């Protein structure tokens, strides 16, 4: 008998290479020097502004932002980004994001004041974090900012201050939840699975003192799993729908926080991040689908807020550094010492940062350990990287340093260097001066009895 049944259709899938899974090719050695950043000579930048030098590409920030915005607005009708200040709160960088239309997302009174000083309308500041003082809360309420409540003690503080000011502040709660990613981030906000979050929402609604405007979560950072965001979106949507049912109250927005990965390469990952990490479109797809599938009325979807930090700025930051010396370790391994250490390259602890020489080189390469200048054993920028021979005075470019380094950097042993931004017309602008001895000693006092000594 002839088989007339049609062959079963199987949907084609594109399968991503898994981070950490080796393939037969191994890691590529950089074989092209990076002589220019956005058309500006690396050597000239170092000569003019000094070394080490952080360089930010305004073009890369704007392009990355435009891509992210497009990824979400193609799939969901109402999207708003809020720039995560702690990721990089250099005023010039914040201004680029605000020019692009980003609100501000802050996690301390210091960051809040910085956003206000940058000219951000108080209504467009999202105030997160577990440590808001009475004065911070009072200021935020007066400016009609969005207060994201982290714990019950804060909720009662906000209620007290609101009563005193005779205002009804706009608030959201931060929710933590199981998204299938472990360890789970459950130290911030109210837990979903145990009912804490629903309890907090009930307390807010019954108090009558607060305007419940949104629901917030921030499930982790450098998350490699888009489905975790779908889970988060479903759970927040579930709370929003429960509020509609019980209180006939519609929230205005769902804020899914930050945490998308940049193209950096996590330590221990075999393949470079640019090949292994999911792109923003995959996150946009997971989140938009979950939200659209959750709400019954497509005309009344809540605003989707994203507090994306590192994915928007990491790739835009470079660090130019100079070779101080080469040496052979006792094992025979080549070591190259550069003038930038882990005190200004905090993310060396997490990433295998790509390093490219800034001048032409020969084909000979060797596995090299790259040390910073500190008198500290932990001062390692790359434990092992295949590099061509570099001579004293040569320049290198360290890639993808735009997120967290310029906020988490430490003044330790050396002073912190200058930062420039290259504009769209290829002109570099100084946006932060290097520190001097006075930057530090101006804050210090030597008591009278300690002033004199003889040696
Ligand atoms: C740090 C932080 C962000 C930004 O996180 P990224 O991983 O840089 O995207 C967003 N929201 C909150 C509440 C944060 O604490």
pLDDT digits (tens, 9 = 90+) for 322-333: 999 999 999 999
Give the number of the atom of ligand 1 that is nearest the alpha carbon of residue 216: 13
343 lines ligand 1 (CB under 6 A): no
Q: Which two tokens stand for residue 321?
A: 């550094």
Ligand 1 contact, 84 CB (< 6 A): yes
Q: Is the pLDDT of residue 2 over 90?
A: no
What does the pLDDT read at residue 19?
53
Distance CA 41, CA 39 (A): 7
Condensed to tens digits (0 to 9), the pLDDT of residues 280-308 reads 999 999 999 999 999 998 889 999 999 99
pLDDT-derived band at 110 (thresholds 50, 70, 90) equals: very high
Long-range contacts of 8-17, Cβ-Cβ distance < 8 Å, separation of 24 or more: 16/276, 16/278, 17/271, 17/275, 17/276
Answer whether residue 318 shows pLDDT above 50: yes
User: Cβ atoms within 10 A of the Cβ of 135, count?
Assistant: 10
Q: Rounded to whole angstroms, how far apart are CA atoms 232 and 234? A: 5
pLDDT given at position 22: 47
Q: Which atom of ligand 1 is nearest to the CA of 310?
A: 8
> pLDDT higher for 26 or 262?
262
Q: Is the CB–ligand 1 distance for residue 307 below 6 Å?
A: yes
Residue 155 in contact with ligand 1 by CB distance below 6 A: no
Q: How far is the CA of 210 from the centre of ligand 1 (A)?
A: 25
Ligand 1 geometric centre to CA of 126 (Å): 12
Q: What is the mean pLDDT of residues 410-435?
A: 97
216 CB within 6 A, ligand 1: no
Helix (H) or strand (E) holding 4: none
Question: What pLDDT digit, counting tens, does each position of 165-193 carry?
Answer: 999 999 999 999 999 988 888 899 999 99
Q: Is the pLDDT of residue 70 over 50?
A: yes
- Pairing of β 170-176 and β 418-422: unpaired
Whether residue 26 has pLDDT greater than 70:
no
Predicted confidence (pLDDT) at residue 425 exceeds the cutoff of 80? yes
Query: Hey, what domains does the chain have and what are their CATH numbers?
Result: 36-55+317-436 (2.40.37.10), 58-314 (3.20.20.10)
Nearest residue CA, atom 5 of ligand 1?
258
How remote is the CA of residue 85 from the centroid of ligand 1, in Å?
Answer: 9
Angle between helices 58-73 and 280-294 (to 10 degrees): 30
What DSSP assignment string belongs to 95-121?
HHHHHTT-EEEESSHHHHHHHHHTT--
Predicted local confidence at residue 15, as pLDDT: 59
pLDDT level of residue 3 (50, 70, 90 thresholds): low
Query: Does the beta carbon of 322 sit less than 6 angstroms from any atom of ligand 1?
Result: no
Cα–Cα distances in Å, from 259 out to 1, 223, 403?
58, 6, 12
Mean pLDDT in residue range 9-28: 58
| 20 contacts: CB under 8 Å, gap ≥ 6 | 268, 269, 270, 271, 276
Answer yes or no: is pLDDT of 351 > 60: yes
The pTM of this model reads 0.93
Q: Whose CA is nearest to atom 7 of ligand 1?
A: 259
Q: Which atom of ligand 1 is nearest to the CA of 87?
A: 8
If one residue of 83, 105, 115, 150 were mutated to test the ligand 1 pocket, choosing by the most ligand atoms within 8 A of its CB, it would be 105
**Mean pLDDT in residue range 423-435:** 98
Q: How far is the CA of 42 from the centre of ligand 1 (A)?
A: 31
Proportion of the chain above pLDDT 90, given as a percent: 88
Residue 27 confidence (pLDDT): 55
Residue nearest to atom 8 of ligand 1 (CA): 309
N residues, the chain: 455
Q: Per-residue pLDDT for 24 more than 50? A: no
Tell me, using a 6 A CB cutoff, whether residue 264 lines ligand 1: no
Q: Is the CB of 87 under 6 A from ligand 1?
A: yes
Q: For the residues 96-113, what does the mean pLDDT come to?
A: 98
Nearest CA to ligand 1 atom 10: 258
């Amino acid at each position: 008998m002839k088989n007339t049944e049609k062959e079963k259709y199987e949907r084609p899938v594109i399968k991503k290479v898994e981070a950490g899974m080796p393939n037969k090719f191994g890691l590529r050695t950089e074989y092209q020097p990076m002589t220019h950043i956005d058309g500006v000579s690396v050597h000239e930048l170092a000569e003019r502004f000094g070394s080490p030098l952080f360089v930010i590409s305004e073009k890369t920030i704007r392009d990355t932002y435009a891509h992210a915005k497009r990824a979400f607005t193609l799939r969901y009708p109402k999207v708003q980004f809020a720039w995560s200040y702690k990721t990089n709160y250099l005023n010039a960088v914040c201004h680029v994001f605000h020019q692009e239309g980003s609100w501000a997302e802050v996690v301390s009174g210091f960051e809040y004041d910085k956003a206000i000083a940058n000219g951000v309308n108080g209504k467009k500041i999202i105030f997160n974090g577990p440590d808001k003082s009475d004065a911070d809360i009072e200021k935020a309420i007066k400016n009609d900012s969005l207060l994201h409540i982290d714990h019950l003690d804060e909720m009662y503080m906000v209620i007290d201050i609101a009563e005193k000011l005779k205002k009804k502040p706009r608030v959201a709660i931060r929710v933590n939840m199981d998204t299938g990613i472990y360890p789970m981030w459950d130290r911030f906000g109210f837990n979903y699975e145990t009912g804490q979050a629903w309890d907090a929402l009930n307390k807010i609604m019954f108090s009558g003192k607060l305007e419940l405007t949104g629901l917030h979560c921030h499930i982790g950072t450098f998350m490699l799993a888009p489905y975790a965001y779908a889970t988060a979106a479903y759970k927040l949507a579930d709370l929003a729908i429960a509020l509609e049912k019980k209180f006939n109250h519609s929230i205005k927005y769902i804020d899914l926080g930050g945490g998308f990965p940049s193209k950096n390469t996590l330590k221990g990952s075999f393949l470079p991040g640019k090949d292994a990490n999911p792109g923003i479109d995959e996150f946009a797809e997971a989140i938009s689908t979950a939200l659209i599938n959750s709400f019954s009325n497509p005309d009344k979807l809540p605003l989707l807020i994203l507090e994306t930090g590192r994915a928007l700025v990491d790739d835009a930051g470079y660090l130019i550094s100079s070779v101080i010396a080469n040496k052979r370790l006792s094992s025979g391994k080549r070591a190259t010492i550069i003038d930038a250490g882990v005190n200004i390259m905090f993310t060396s602890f997490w990433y295998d940062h790509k390093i490219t020489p800034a001048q032409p080189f020969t084909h000979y390469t060797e596995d090299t350990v790259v040390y910073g200048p500190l008198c500290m054993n932990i001062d390692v920028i790359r434990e092992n990287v295949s590099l061509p021979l570099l001579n004293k005075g040569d320049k290198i470019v360290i890639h993808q340093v735009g997120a967290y380094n310029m906020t988490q950097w430490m003044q330790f042993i050396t002073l912190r260097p200058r930062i420039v931004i290259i504009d769209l017309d290829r002109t570099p602008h100084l946006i932060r001066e290097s520190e001097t001895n006075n930057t530090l000693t101006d804050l210090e006092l030597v008591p009278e009895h300690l002033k004199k000594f003889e040696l």
